[in-house]
Amino acid sequence: MTDPLYTGASELEGRVIREVVAVAMDAPAKAKSGHSGTAMALAPLGVMLWSRIMRHDPTDAKWSDRDRFILSNGHCCILQYALAHEFGYDVSVEDLKEFRQAHSKTPGHPERGFTPTVEVTTGPLGQGISNSVGMAIAESILRADYGEELVNHRTWVIAGDGCFEEGISHESASLAGALGLDHLTLFYDDNHITIDGATELALRDDPAERFAAYGWHVIDVGDQANNLDVLEEATRAAIAETSRPSLIIVRSHIGWPSPTLMDTKEAHGTPFPPEAISTVKEFLGVPDEAFVFDPNNQRDLLELVAPQRAARTAWEARLAAAGEKGVRLLEQLDTNGAALVTTTADPYEGGTMVATRKAMQRAMDTYGPQTPGLTAGSADLTGNTGVELKYSTIHSADNPGGRQFHYGIREFAMNGNLVGQACHGGLRPVGSTFFVFSDYGRGAIRLASLSHAGVLFVFTHDSVGVGEDGPTHEPIEQLMSLRAMPNLHVVRPSDANETLDLVEQFLSTKEPPTTALILSRQDVPVLSGSDAAASAEGARKGGYVIRESEDAVFTLVSTGSEVGVVLAAADELATKGVVTRVVALPCWKCFDAQPLEYRTQVLRRSIPSVSLEAGATLGWTNYVDQAIGINSFGMSAPSKDVFEHFGIVPATVVAHVERVLSEGI
């Protein structure tokens, strides 16, 4: 028996679609907040995909060769929560009733780690599309490494008009087409409605022509959002495509089947009023009560997806038969491809001058071959940022096993892509660009931090040391801006050897924190003697004393390339009989996590202190009495002249210390 409202739907599928539509209204109404209309319109697509196509097993939500499902238009997350409940995942009716409430499994947008089936944290529109490209890349790499018998799953994405308008979708789709990611399928929910009104207010693109130009396989099913057979046929055509990603355009009607709210902007972000909910439920033939579910659905759906579940058990059998290769795959997935370090990088000679970005390349040369999950690339700056994998090959449609990525001039897409790679599992992605362009990737960096994705964002050319390129390319506020981001470890090494050590730490840690590594363009002194020993002992704690003296009357604190400057200032002050101590704080977040006793000993706030950093001074008063830095935009000149102009030189520190001591401040 087929459903009279949803063409091609079985009686079971029709029953489930109706319940999803109903709860898409009930949950936002109870929360007095949320987006009903899109979830209502997409319920048939979601049920078709989860029941007929998607390879998944509700009894094993984290099966590694499962298909990945990403809801890029995360505002309609009640759709995913309802599907997860219907198909037997650990999302209860009570969880649905707690939609958008504190500490629930059903937050207002999908958050990785909260809800079964949620693979990435989405919400800011378009980010999910970019994440999905990273997911598909991860699958293609692991499939190339271990073979189709062990890795062969697909990435399914639903995105809306807003996702397609955001610039990140353009960059990401272009990259996916260039890489020929044939295991990636994107459904475009073309409902013609945004918060302000009809999409025609600002959107006149032809998505079919646009994606065809990117090199995608495009299928337009037209006004068939309620026809499960048509949707299935298009989806299977996408599966049959073996050389390109696929776009399936679905013209839906937001809020269907509401006679008053369908195709209106009110159906987008406003909970349906009680009378509208009652009208829809009467039309659907479901009880006019909130959160009503047939208790047999989960059992029947579990039986319906038996072929997908059988795929899991068959995969487990192949994994066992693969022997050592299967063991390696499981280990790589378990450790996120962590480095197995048997050979450490050769240290730089103390007293020499080496840019920390150059140390990044040495780290890649040494630790890259020892890191099974490493991928590395840049936004067209590979030689500048030190992320060339000389032992590997370039990833491409013809070479999906390559670990070297050329993301092109696409900072938005690159950073979102890295998040997808990390959240997929098995990989440890590194991406790089100039520090000032971290602004282009900030949305993805924020979502990476929110979801604890193990990404290493490498940012070089970290200060006004960029010099002649001028203020457009000289970061000022970026360092403090990223330090303000929760969960993100912003790391600015004191010298080249400290860079080697901290890169090794990221690559070898099983679950590394989301990390932004900030490196210098210009050469900086390599620490030597006791200074180097202090760095080796304390850098991983985020802060340490480079030079200590019980007789010190002042503490000089710095990070990155300015550590050498304050050490020079300390030497000059010593010639004048002023004893100082020097502290480096390469990672504030790491330092703040240390025991209070350690932090107190390092900072020693009982004596005056000053910091020096070639960037904004905001935030430094947590660690020092006064801060020397740059609170204006930079200037175009040779770097030496720029540093002198802004006072990022030993003489500035010396003068400050002498003034404070003389005034008895």
Q: What CATH code is assigned to 532-663?
A: 3.40.50.920
> What distances in angstroms separate CA 600 from CA 227, 522, 544, 592, one per listed residue?
66, 32, 11, 11
Asked, colleague to colleague, whether 11-309 and 532-663 share their fold, the answer is yes
pLDDT tens string 555-598: 999 999 999 999 999 999 999 999 999 999 999 999 999 999 99
By CB atoms closer than 10 A (0-12, 13-18, 19+), residue 39 is: buried
Task: Report whether 465 contacts 506 (CB < 8 A).
Answer: no
State the pTM of this model. Answer: 0.97
Q: C-alpha angle 250/253/255, rounded to 5°?
A: 135
End-to-end CA distance of the chain: 86
Helix (H) or strand (E) segment spanning residue 650: helix 650-663
Predicted local confidence at residue 664, as pLDDT: 79
Contact criterion met (CB below 8 Å) for 500 and 474: no
210 residue type, one letter: R
Give the pLDDT score at 17. Answer: 98
The whole-angstrom separation of Cα 10 and Cα 306 is 16
Distance CA 269, CA 125 (A): 14
Residue 24: C-alpha distances to residues 33, 65, 86, 278, 549 (Å): 11, 30, 13, 13, 66
Q: Where are the alpha helices (DSSP H) in 464-577?
A: 478-483, 496-508, 529-538, 563-575
537 is catalytic: no
Q: Tell me 615's DSSP state.
A: S
Pairwise CA distance, residues 306 & 460, whole Å: 51
What whole-number distance in Å separates Cα of residue 500 and Cα of residue 515? 15
What pLDDT is attached to residue 3? Answer: 84
CATH of 11-309 among 3.20.20.80, 2.40.50.100, 3.40.120.10, 3.40.50.970: 3.40.50.970
Instruction: Name which CATH class applies to 353-525.
Output: alpha beta
Q: What share of the chain is helix, strand, coil (3-state, %, to 5)?
A: 45, 15, 40
Note the pLDDT of residue 665. 62
Contact status, residue 312 vs residue 334, Cβ threshold 8 Å: no
The pLDDT, as a whole number, for residue 387 is 97
Name the strand (E) or helix (H) holding 433. Answer: strand 428-434
Enclosing H/E stretch for 29: helix 11-31
**Predicted local distance difference test score (pLDDT) of residue 2:** 74
For the record, the structure tokens of 632 come out as 């204006």
Asked whether the beta carbons of 205 and 247 are under 8 A apart, the reply is: no
Residue 206 DSSP label: -
Give the integer Cα–Cα distance in Å for 213 and 392.
30
Catalytically annotated residue among 119, 388, 411, 562: 411
Amino acid at 477: E
- Buried b / exposed e along 61-80 (16+ C-beta atoms within 10 A): bebbbbbbbbbbbbbbbbbb
SS3 of residue 495 by DSSP: coil
- HSE toward the beta carbon, residue 221, CA cutoff 13 A: 27
What three-state secondary structure class fits 582? strand
Angstrom distance (rounded) from CA 163 to CA 159 = 6
Domain boundaries, the chain: 11-309, 353-525, 532-663
Measured distance CA(141)–CA(513) in Å, rounded: 23
Give buried/exposed letters for 554-578 (b at 16+ CB in 10 A, else e): bbbbbbbbbbbbbbbbbebbeeeeb
How far is 665 from 660, CA to CA, in rounded Å?
5
Residues of the chain with pLDDT under 70: 1, 665
Report pLDDT for 164. Answer: 96
- What's residue 480's pLDDT? 98
